[in-house]
Amino acid sequence: MVQIETVVAERFAVGESPVWDGDNGRLFWTDIPAGTIHALEIASGARALWSFGEPVGAFGLCRSGRLVVALSEDVVLFDMATGARERLARVEHAKPGMRFNDGKVGPDGAFWVGSMDATGVGSPAARLYRIGPDADVRTIADGLSTSNGLAWNADGTLMYHSDSRGQMWIDVWDFDPAAGVAANRRHLVVESELLGRADGGACDMAGTYWSAGPSASRLNRFSAEGELLEFIDLPVLRPTMPCFGGPDMKTVYVTSLSSGVEPELLAEHPLCGGIVSFRAALAGVPVGRFHD
């Protein structure tokens, strides 16, 4: 029986993008519509907050100590100490009202980030991008509804990616960590409401893929062949993304959302929108740092 611990009991609208900073023992996350990035020093409980004035879809750590941050259309390098922003790249979305969504730094040192199309107008127009340290923007996949679920296995040879709406699938790609090339895309799992709509993901060192299932209030663990190995029910009701952290990388932190949840469900689930954690038997794969 997994023991769930409360990390942050605040109610974030769309808590997302948890990132573990092992050098400083800190957990980072964003509240997307609030346009904020939060940090919590686990040992001391010290908190920090940065506001960007527009939605923050995702972010990652940089080798320099800065953050690479996906805003609505811009990807910026952000200095947490001074507040200085340096625009790295800008993407013109296909429709008004679109924004960046799930993203992570890959084993190649680039920032991989997708967009979401919640407009309901025409064919889905979201994309998955690779944004290199040289500001080169490469489109990897298109025709998506909500790009999500990015994660890489331990040796960086497999990349996982999902679409949380539309066809609701999880894909796996062969990945070249030296060249930053994803190829041979194929379906790993065809999702369903029963599994929970495949939101954010993370990989452990044994090669399995952990996927948040917000509509089923659980975290699913799949083998590299797509077999559902286990699932963990979570009290946050709408989990959005797991990340591994802690000194041994065996603590799983899970963010969640409260936006759009019915008031009666919010009353029944006081941790909805908060952050919880539990201990895993397997260590997680450390997320890379952007090569700025």
For 248-284, how does the pLDDT look when each residue is reduced to its tens digit (9 = 90+)?
999 999 999 999 999 999 999 999 999 999 999 999 9
Tokens matching residue 109: 């040192």
**What residue segments make up the domains of the chain, in order of their start?**
5-279
Residue 1 has pLDDT above 70, yes or no: yes
**pLDDT of amino acid 185:** 96
Cα 250 to Cα 101: distance, rounded to the nearest angstrom: 26
**pLDDT of amino acid 169:** 84
Residue 7 has pLDDT above 90, yes or no: yes
Strand order through the sheet with 47-51 = 15-21, 26-31, 36-41, 47-51
- C-alpha closest to that of 184 among 161, 151, 202: 161
Cross-strand partners of 53? none
Cα 171 to Cα 76: distance, rounded to the nearest angstrom: 28
Residue 157 has pLDDT above 90, yes or no: yes
DSSP-derived pairing of the beta strands 275-279 and 5-8? antiparallel
Cα 157 to Cα 142: distance, rounded to the nearest angstrom: 22
Cα 16 to Cα 31: distance, rounded to the nearest angstrom: 6
Helix (H, G, I), strand (E, B) or coil at 72: coil
**pLDDT of amino acid 178:** 95
Cα 133 to Cα 180: distance, rounded to the nearest angstrom: 11
Helix (H, G, I), strand (E, B) or coil at 66: coil
Candidates 2.40.50.100, 3.50.50.60, 1.10.1740.10, 2.120.10.30; correct CATH number of 5-279? Answer: 2.120.10.30
Residues 6+ apart with CB under 8 A from 264: none
DSSP-derived pairing of the beta strands 201-203 and 209-213? antiparallel
**pLDDT of amino acid 247:** 96
Helix (H, G, I), strand (E, B) or coil at 48: strand
Q: What is the pLDDT of residues 186-221, one digit of tens each?
A: 999 886 677 888 999 999 999 999 999 999 999 999
Assign 166 a pLDDT band (cuts: 50, 70, 90).
low
Average model confidence (pLDDT) across the chain: 95
Higher pLDDT, 194 or 287: 287
**pLDDT of amino acid 190:** 81
Q: What is the pLDDT of residues 58-94, one digit of tens each?
A: 999 999 999 999 999 999 999 999 999 999 999 999 9
* 84-102 residues labelled b (16+ CB within 10 A) or e (exposed): ebeebbebebbeeebbbbb
DSSP-derived pairing of the beta strands 47-51 and 36-41? antiparallel
DSSP state of 285: P
Which residues are identified as catalytic? 199
**pLDDT of amino acid 207:** 93
Higher pLDDT, 191 or 143: 143
The DSSP secondary structure of 258-278, one letter per residue, reads -TT--HHHHHH-TTTTSEEEE
- C-alpha closest to that of 16 among 172, 198, 243: 243
- C-alpha closest to that of 60 among 41, 40, 77: 77
The DSSP secondary structure of 34-47, one letter per residue, reads TTEEEEEETTT--E
**pLDDT of amino acid 167:** 64
215-222: list long-range contacts, CB under 8 Å, 24+ apart: 219/252, 219/254, 220/195, 220/196, 222/170, 222/188, 222/189
